[in-house]
Structure 1
């Protein structure tokens, strides 16, 4: 494989299953934007002198994978901030979203992409309306995105038409498209409590025909789906009888699950998006992360929307996941720094059913982040044992230490600022849209 750029760093974290820490390592990127080599510099293939080389001073790692987001909600940040979930949705969020125009969602998504890229989040799984604007905004910023247009069975809505429109879009443009296959189209049934069982079954059939991911909210609070639990036993059981567990499924939140529910998810290969920050803010509870992981359910991290979190910082979600998992189990080893790093990278990719992102291995997309060690968070430097280095990265450094980001080998953040989008202009446009919507 030909090489178009070589990255050299004192530490590379490939996010392989053992969470290896490679010292004095190299990542080579081909002209197609995919990784050609990742490993020790001493074993790297010889390349011509005219191949560009990028010498980094810190840690080179995969871009983080946000498995559940509603990023255009940057416009609604702080709205109804002290309300429980259902009141927050019905009294604050949904009325504001009804006033949102396509161009408003575009402005909100651009700002969301800017925020995530600056934090080292290169991929996000988005569930939202105005999906074409969400895609256009992500491509503008250079992000990677899985877009699930949301649909409901609510007054004025038509879930059948919305479902058919997604299939028509996939058939026209393909499941993945854009430079570096930056866009993947998915199905976004909002939840079991906002759609009838026939809609879930129809979604399962349509998605199965196209090999598409279905992205759905599951058991976020105890109060939201009482009727579904009474009729079907549990929301996962309803998803099973509807056929959704037979295909690619991403269950967002999955807070209130029984042991049988977790077993269903494990047996079906369902992925879970764990959103500890949003679930804590809205007092929804915290998912049984330890039990999910023990059952070998693929679990990634999600921020949820920036109006229920209220940011898009996946490093913060990793810290919260570690703290909550340790607190609920009483075990300080229940979720280690290495575990959390993998959840934010390769684990998130696995939850989405993706094998081409989230890890630095040949053939994967070169979605890379450079974490600076020039700061108090790495006062001990890089010459420490591996566990100490990972602890400093996950507990102390986080998003503030990300300086440079590449997606499919192309620079999207340099020295902490986005290069494709003017951050100040994006903030101004989002502010104007937010003033009108709110």
Structure 2
């Protein structure tokens, strides 16, 4: 499984200088650099990000790539099921639980490892074309998903999903993740593109014993636990009556003692929010999926006011139905502003930070989501050759960010580098053949949905 990049030829290929009229490092000050430079070292990490006038000299062997437009860190997708591309659109217009039990879970029961592998290249391609370089994935057949992602070139935090099913016990699934991490390490692949995590689906689909055992395994390995939390009001009222709330149960089982990512986190009390904040739990806010499935609107302003680490996610391509984090930025802003009746409840700058630095923080990662020195050189180039930048780049910072986040979004993404390696050039993937990827997804969709009669 492990793919190590240590050869001199590859390292030489990673080093480069990217020069653009505007660079947004997503640093703590949210700097807007005019005439900026991003230097990538031989390992694929950022060695310098700042004004070109202050940039250190580079060796003659290092190529200088001069770009028109904006450079910024690759977006960090905090909650995804990207291999679900074969199920896109299946069972639409249903609430979450009927959608899962009547359509998705029966289809996934027919899923083969080859189907999970087939779904990921198309999902990876879509994310890269939208400027997403990292995604926190929860799905079955984790090794197949990882293999496909390595070919596409994107960065993945892989949390193999498990449930309490008679034919698929959680103990075996948990042991398999333990074994995988112990064999390959927590992170591996070129530029540490793969990080292994634990994916207990939810508190309502697993017994308390499984959550406690997951906490123990993850703590022993320093691994992230990725779990759905309080997504709908209909989630097992009996569980809430016994434990008080889903976050309280997660705390009682020890899951909050380690790295924890709570996906959705819609139905939370003030006590729940304090628990998340006090225990440094990351939250993946998924406004598009939550709205489509009528699951509710998360209390984003309250979460942010409590200093909870919040990133953005789309959920799966079958429940959203896209993998566009720019759209999630806009939805997050609109829902937060509408709820608070305040146009400053979430600004374009804050939304962009949630999709970069904030998403990385929610995952417990400080080496992605920013272009600060030492971080992996996950970089996207946004073109300004479109109507959304008709006024050009020589405008106030506020207007520049508004044009980028509200206007251009995914449409402007042209080029993408992951750990210094270019994986998207002028919107074209260098690792995924689109026609073949669509054909494979079509075949898998026909297989997985063949038994659906409801």
Normalising TM by the smaller chain, what interval? over 0.9
Three-state SS of the structure 2 residue aligned to 1:162 is helix
Residues 61-115 of structure 1 show CA distances to partners (whole Å, capped at 9, x for unaligned) of: 0000000000111100000101110100000000111111111110101110011
Per-residue CA shift, 1:324-361, capped at 9, x if unaligned? 00001111000000000000000000000000000001
Taking the aligned partners of 2:82 and 2:58, their CA distance within structure 1 comes to 41
Maintained 8 Å contact 2:261/2:284:
yes
Where do 5+ consecutive residues of structure 2 fail to align? 1-11, 450-454
Trace 1:35-434 onto structure 2 (pairs within 5 A).
35-434=46-445
Q: Does the CA contact (< 8 Å) of 2:15 and 2:420 recur in 1?
A: no
Higher mean displacement: 418-427 or 172-181: 418-427
Aligned equivalents of 1:122 and 1:225: distance in 2? 35
Q: CA deviation at 1:173?
A: 0.3
Displacement, 1:28?
A: 0.3
User: 1:51 deviation in Å?
Assistant: 1.8
Residue 31 of structure 1 corresponds to 42
* 8 A contact 1:417–1:423 mirrored in 2: no
Contact 1:286 1:324 in 2 (8 A): yes
CA contact (8 A) 2:27 2:370 kept: yes
Partner of 2:8: none
Structure 1: give runs of 5+ residues left out of the alignment.
none
Q: Deviations over 1:148-181 (max 9, x none)?
A: 0001012312101111110111000000001100
The one-character-per-residue Cα deviations of 1:128-163 (angstroms, maximum 9, x if unpaired) are 000000100100100100000001012312101111
3-state DSSP class of the match of 2:317? Answer: coil
CA distance in 2, matches of 1:21, 1:278: 31
- Does the aligned pair in 2 maintain the 1:61–1:369 contact within 8 Å? yes
Report the CA distance between 1:15 and its aligned residue. 0.3
Q: Is the Cα–Cα contact under 8 Å of residues 76 and 133 in structure 2 kept in the other structure?
A: yes
Q: Distance in 1 between matches of 2:30 and 2:435?
A: 37
TM-score scaled by length of structure 2 = 0.95
Deviation at 1:59, TM superposition (A): 0.3
Distance in 1, matches of 2:285 and 2:29, equals 21
Q: Secondary structure at the match of 2:86?
A: helix
What is the alpha-carbon distance in structure 2 between the residues aligned to residue 193 and residue 153 of structure 1? 10
Report runs of 4+ in structure 1 exceeding 6 Å deviation: none
Q: Distance in 2 between matches of 1:198 and 1:40?
A: 54
Write the deviation string for residues 6-54 of structure 1: whole angstroms up to 9, x where unpaired: 0000000000122111000100000100011000100000113332010
- How many angstroms apart in 2 are the aligned matches of 1:47 and 1:214? 41
Kept in 2, the 8 Å contact 1:105–1:134? The answer is: yes
Q: Secondary structure at the match of 1:193?
A: helix
What is the alpha-carbon distance in structure 1 between the residues aligned to residue 15 and residue 377 of structure 2?
12
CA positional deviation for 1:432 = 1.6
2:442 and 2:27 map into 1 onto residues whose CA distance is 40
- TM-score of the superposition, structure 1-length normalised? 0.99
